[in-house]
Each structure stands twice: as C-alpha cells, then as structure tokens.
Structure 1
Amino acid sequence: MKRTLIIAEAGVNHNGSLNVAKKLAISAKEAGADIVKYQTFNPDALSSKYAEMAQYQKKNMGQTKSQKEMLSRLTLTHDEFIQLARFCDEIGIKFLSTPFDIQSIDFLNELGCDIWKIPSGEITNYPYLVHIAETKKKIIMSTGMSTLTEVVSALDILRSNGATDIQLLHCTTQYPTPYSAVNLKAMLTLKSETGCEVGYSDHTNGIEIPIAAVAMGAVIIEKHFTLDRNMEGPDHKASLEPGELKQMVDSIRHIEEALGDGKKKPADIELSNINIARKSIVAKKFIKRGEVLSEENITTKRPGNGISPMLWTSVLGTNAIRNFEEDELIEI
C-alpha cells in the first residue's frame, strides 16, 4: 500500500506563542507524523467585524466575541512563521501552513512552501482558488460543508488556472464531529466522481475513525492535536494529546502493513502450519489389506501431510493396498 501521509494539525493551538508552536512541532515529530501544519492569516483580511464565532468556539472558549477578536489572539507574525519553518527543518519535520487570505498565500509562497492546504471554508472563494492555482504547486483541499457539485466547481477553477496535482480530503466541519455525521463512504464517492486521490481530515474524538479511513483507502490523514486539551482556545478540546497522536500514527502504520497486496494466497509464515492445521484421510480402525475403504473404516484427522480429504469420494470404494493401523495415513 502507498504510505499514508499523516498531517498533524497544530492549527492555532499554539495560542499565539512561537514557543508553544515549536513544542507542537517537536511533539508531531516524536509522534511520527510526516507534516506539522499551522494556519496563517491576517485577521483583518480574514474576517469582518460582523462575523460571529461558531457555536463550538463559543462553547470551548466560554465566551462570545467577534471572530476577528478571537483570531487576533491566535496569530503568529510573519517573522515568527519564518523562524518556525526554519525550526521544523532543523528537527526534521515538514512545515506546512494553511493560508486563509491572499496576503498569506503570497507570504507562504515567498517562504518556499511547496504544498497548499486549502481549508473547507475557502472552497467557494473564487479569487482565493485562482491565486493558489496560479502558483502551480501541489494542492490538498478539504471539502467539509461541501456538496459534490461545489467540489467539482472548485476543481474546475483550480485546474483551469494551472493546478494539476490536487488531492481531496473528506471531512465534516464540526468540532467535535459525532460519529453519525462522519459519512466515511463519501470519501469513496469523491474519489470515483472526481478522479482525485482522497484522504480524510478528522474532527471526531479519538483515533478510530482516521484509522478506519486508512483501511478504506485514504492516502492522507489530517488530525488536530494539542499539547494539552485543557488549554484555552477554540480547537484544543477536539484535538489529540501527544500520546494519542503517536498511538494514531502507530496504528495507521500497522494498518498499512496489514492491508497487503490483495492477492489471496498463503503468507510465507503460514506455510509451515498447513500440515499441522489441515487433515488427511486416515484409518478409523484397523484395516486389512484388500478391505474396501468406506465411511465405516476411514475418517479425517490431523496432520495434513497425507491424502487430502478433498479426494474423499475418490478414495471411497477402493481396496486397501496393505494393512493400516488405526490413525495411520491412508495410501492408495
């Protein structure tokens, strides 16, 4: 199986602290993730002063304010992102950040990011999609809140403006997502209807659903994580803690190994067990030479290194070629 790309979504769980952002990178590296991903935005360009917080954000933060006010506390400066990208390179994990506005696209492009992660909320943002497509870099696009028609429209815009390498992530934009709203089978629909490789961006509690997505063919898994779910902020409570992230990564690697090549044949390690576990045709009791072999005097028992029971009807009615003791392998 193709190795699953695992994106550890730090997002804004750094709470505006470069030091915490670096600790998140270290944690993602130690967990075995391939990429640690953040979010880059200019609060003034992302949200108007009239945009309200989502219900889950109000609940998780225990307060109500405008999105703009909330976001202003969760940003890193461009200089801090430059330091963070350099730090990720030093410790050996790939840095990635989702841009949420045109200015942030330009900044990350200049920073040298070679992959774009388009968030679900931008899938209907025509100028944003065009700007990203024109860079002609690889794109991973989340499809939360979207109909298939909207996904296809976004793909048309991206492709018509220069994008050629696009992967899609199925997801449900709710934090946390109840299991009943996951609809993992939609991931398969996205693949069949668009021709794109697909993955899954998970917002459920726990690690079971992303593991199941890999078993269903996801080539990318994205999962929010935090240093501590009790930290203040909108996304911490729906995020994995470091030990859980490592457990998810390890489990996904096990699933990849277990899926195999799809060919139904004995595994090499099974071969030595065939004669032990299977049966042969043996004498049910003492049989004299020349006696007719019948269901009265033959049966099937382990080991399996004699005549296969699949030849049962061919053996019945033949004559014993010699004397056979009870349990002795029958020969014909």
Structure 2
Amino acid sequence: MSQTQETRGIRTRKFGERLVGPGHPVYVVGEIGINHNGSLEDAFALIDAAAEAGCDAVKFQKRTPEICTPRDQWDIERDTPWGRMTYIDYRHRVEFDEEAYAAIDTYAAQRGIDWFASPWDVPSVEFLERFGNVKAHKVASASLTDDELLRALRATGKTIVLSTGMSTPGQIRHAVEVLGSDNILLCHATSTYPAPAEELNLRMLGTLAREYPNVPIGYSGHEIGLQTTLAAVALGASFVERHITLDRANWGSDQAASVEPQGLVRLVRDIRIIEESLGDGVKRVYDSELGPMKKLRRVPGVLAEAS
C-alpha cells in the first residue's frame, strides 16, 4: 500500500476532531484506568497532567461490579487504604457514578482534552453512551473474547480500539470479524503489569500491519520506562497508550507500570520529535547540507539523478 493511499483514509480513524493513522500525528492517550482510586480530585489531577504533557486524550475503565466480579469473590475480605472490606465493596469504591463522570466530562472539555473509557460489560457501554463527548471506546485485552460486549460496541458506530494482549492470532481474528474492520484500531499489548522488555515483542506492530492492511496499528504499553514505547512509535505505531499515575507507589495493581507526570511530559515530547524525524523515506539533499558539501566533499560527483 502506498503512502498516498494510506493518507487518503484507508488506514485512518476518527477520534473526535482528530484523524489517527499513517501520515497523521501519533494519538497519545494517558490511561488513567482506576489509578484515581475512586477520588474525583485525583482524576482531575491526572487529567491536568495529561493535558499539560500534551496528550490527546485520557482513558478510564468502567465496570458494573456485580457483572465483572465473580460471585465467589464478592464476600472475600481484603485490606484496603479505606479499611477492611469485601471485594465487591472495594470494586464499588473505585468506580465512578454518573455524577462523577459528568464532572469528568465537563472538566476534560475545559482542559481541551478528549476522554473515553474501556467498558467491561454491556451496561457500561450503555452508561458511556450517555456522554456526547465520548467519541470512541476501548476493548481491554481481557474483554477481547467477549462477543456480546463486542457486538454492543460495534452497534455504537464509534471508533473502537481493540487491545490484543493475552490473545492468540485466532482470537484476534475472530474479534475483528465480530467488530468489523471499518471502525477499529488494533493495539499491540502484553498484558503483564509491569511487562518485561523481553516479552514486549514490538515487531508485532509490523505483523499486525501486514495482517490487517486497512486497520491503523497502535501500542498499549505496560512496561517500566519510556524507551520501548518510543521504539514502538519508530516502528510505526499510530496510537500510543500508557497508564499514568500521580505516584507509582500509590495503592493499586496498575500503579507500578504507570508513568508519573514528569515522565509523561518527556514521553509526549520525545514522541513528537521521533514522528518529525521519521520523514517520508525519500532521499534528498537538504539546503542545510550544501555548506558542508562544499567544504568537505573533495569529488563533487553527479549532481542530478540519472534519467
């Protein structure tokens, strides 16, 4: 596929007012998930951090606890920062209700940043559809095999980001068939928190691009550090998602694999430098090279390309 074909929209998707795909700036998402720990104040602070770093969007996770928590785990007690409570009570403790999401919706708009979420069940899809500013949805890797959820997401008609961690090629292919390929974006991911470098397998970005030539390919990283996420951009990721946190020592299973605000600033800055440096692949002599050429090249050579 030529670059011209790609930039005409064959491999682009809409995210609000933005187009995502080859030939467009990398769409950078700060994955808040449940790192807010049920605190709207922390959610706002994370939105601030993402906006100030230059992210395009923040993402949350939305669950109906009674659906997403196995029944045999509801009454198991655990120690939490808010005292000892049952697991089902804990799941409710870290979920935002409609009033909280309405506040998030307003606050993100004020900060000029998109927001969306990963719904883990069909009622959560219906919940998120109440917010007009949500222009896309995400399928978490754990939900890739949930056909009922995939069909509900497809019915929204919105762009769907499909994460492919913990999934076989056959399972990915089936999910794409259920969702349809017209409105999806595939995200390579390794579902370990944090993920070791030797299991990131970044060359899967190229594998997915070859397997799904009409679908933009992105990267959802769960590793420690920034280098490998930047490598994913150099390898062609059109979409990048990293978990973000106010403090990696905070309570929660995702915190250790998350990026703190100062790291997020560096990540977005370096993504923009990399995408600018990639160029178009056409060899040329730049005007800035003419001075060094005159000074350093002993044999001029042929100046024009042979016809």
Q: Does residue 40 of the first structure (1) align with residue 59 of the second (2)? A: no
1:152 is the counterpart of 2:173 = yes
Alpha carbons of 1:67 and 1:264: their partners in 2 closer, same or farther (altered >3 Å)?
farther
- How much has 1:272 moved relative to structure 2? 2.0
Q: CA RMSD in A?
A: 2.2
Name the CA distance, whole Å, in 2 between partners of 1:138 and 1:238.
Answer: 26
Map 1:195-234 → 2, pairs under 5 A? 195=213, 196-234=215-253
Larger Rg: 1
State the partner residue of 2:46.
24
Deviation at 1:51, TM superposition (A): 5.2
User: Which one-letter code corresponds to 2:99 in the other structure?
Assistant: D
CA 79–186 in structure 1, closer or farther in 2 if over 3 Å, else same? same
Partner AA of 1:39 in structure 2 = Q
Paired residue secondary structure (1:50):
helix
Return the alpha-carbon distance in structure 1 between the equivalents of residues 84 and 199 of structure 2: 26
Correspondent of 2:158 among 137, 152, 162: 137
The residue that corresponds to 1:314 in the other structure is: none
User: 1:223-276 CA deviation, whole Å, 9 max, x = no partner?
Assistant: 001011121122111111000011000000000010011111122321222111
In the alignment of these two chains, the number of paired residues is 273
Decide which of 162, 186, 191 is 2:204's aligned counterpart.
Answer: 186
The separation in 2 between residues aligned to 1:51 and 1:66, in whole angstroms, is: 8
The corresponding residue for 1:321 is: none
**Runs of 4+ deviating beyond 3 Å:** 63-70
- The one-letter code sitting in structure 2 at the alignment partner of 1:235 is D
* Counterpart secondary structure, 2:186: strand
Aligned mates of 2:73, 2:207 — CA distance in 1: 33
Are 1:37 and 1:97, in contact at CA under 8 Å, matched by a contact in 2? yes
Identity of aligned residues (%): 34
1:101 counterpart (121, 126, 148): 121
Normalised by the size of structure 1, how large is the TM-score? 0.78
Q: Match of 2:296, as an amino acid?
A: A
Kindly tell me: are residues 266 and 50 of structure 1, through their superposed partners in 2, closer, same or farther at Cα, counting changes over 3 Å? Answer: farther
Q: Given the alignment, which residue of 78, 94, 100 partners 1:80?
A: 100
Q: Does the residue aligned with 1:133 lie in a helix, a strand or coil? A: helix
How far apart are residue 65 of structure 1 and its match? 8.9
Q: Which amino acid aligns with 2:53?
A: A
> What TM-score, normalized to structure 2?
0.84
**Partner residue of 1:326?**
none
Q: Distance in 2 between matches of 1:271 and 1:66?
A: 71
Equivalent residues in 2 for 1:30-69, closer than 5 Å: 30-50=52-72, 68-69=88-89
Are the aligned partners of 2:28 and 2:239 in contact in 1 as well (CA < 8 Å)?
Answer: yes
Q: CA deviation at 1:70?
A: 4.2
2:267 counterpart of 1:248 = yes
3-state SS in 1 of match to 2:129: helix
- Is the 1:214–1:255 Cα contact (8 Å) retained in structure 2? yes
CA distance in 1, matches of 2:197, 2:73: 28
Contact kept? 1:144, 1:170, Cα under 8 Å: yes
| Structure 2 CA distance for aligned equivalents of residues 188 and 64 of structure 1 | 47
Q: 1:64 to 1:2 in 2, by over 3 A?
A: farther
Distance 1:12 1:166, change over 3 A: same
State how far apart, in whole Å, the 1-side matches of 2:172 and 2:86 are: 29
Question: Which residue of 2 is the match for residue 174 of structure 1?
Answer: 192
1:117/1:141 contact within 8 Å kept: yes
Name the CA shift for 1:172/1:68 in 2 (closer, same or farther; >3 Å).
farther
Bigger drift between 243-252 and 233-242 goes to 233-242
Structure 1: distance between partners of 2:89 and 2:208: 36
Give the whole-Å Cα distance in 2 for the aligned partners of 1:272 and 1:70: 66
Q: 2:294 aligned with 1:272, yes or no?
A: no
In structure 2, distance between residues paired with 1:278 and 1:251: 33
Looking at structure 2, the residues matched to 6 and 197 of structure 1 have their Cα atoms a distance apart, in angstroms, of 14
State whether residues 167 and 198 of structure 1, in contact with CA within 8 Å, keep that contact through their aligned partners in structure 2: yes
Q: State whether residues 124 and 150 of structure 1, in contact with CA within 8 Å, keep that contact through their aligned partners in structure 2.
A: yes
1:165 aligns with 2:183: yes
- Offset at residue 64 of structure 1 (A): 11
